[in-house]
Amino acid sequence: VPVFPWHSLVPFLETSQSN
């Protein structure tokens, strides 16, 4: 059964991705 780390579930929304 795969186990996924907690931090894969929530996004990085830092300004580096700002539009």
Partner 1 sequence: SAPSLPPYFTKGSIIQLADGELKRVEDLKTEDFIQSAEISSELKIDSSTVERIDSSHTPHFAIIQFAVGEHRSQVSVEVLVEYPFFVFGQGWSSCCPDRTTQLLELPCAKLSVGDVCISLTLKNLK
CA distance 5 to 8: 6
> Which residues inside 1-19 make contact with partner 1, applying CB under 8 A?
1-15, 17-19
Minimum Å gap between C-beta 2 and partner 1 is 7
CA distance 19 to 6: 27
Minimum Å gap between C-beta 9 and partner 1 is 6
CA distance 17 to 11: 11
Tokens of 13: 């929304």
Minimum Å gap between C-beta 16 and partner 1 is 9
Positions touching partner 1 (CB under 8 A) are 1-15, 17-19
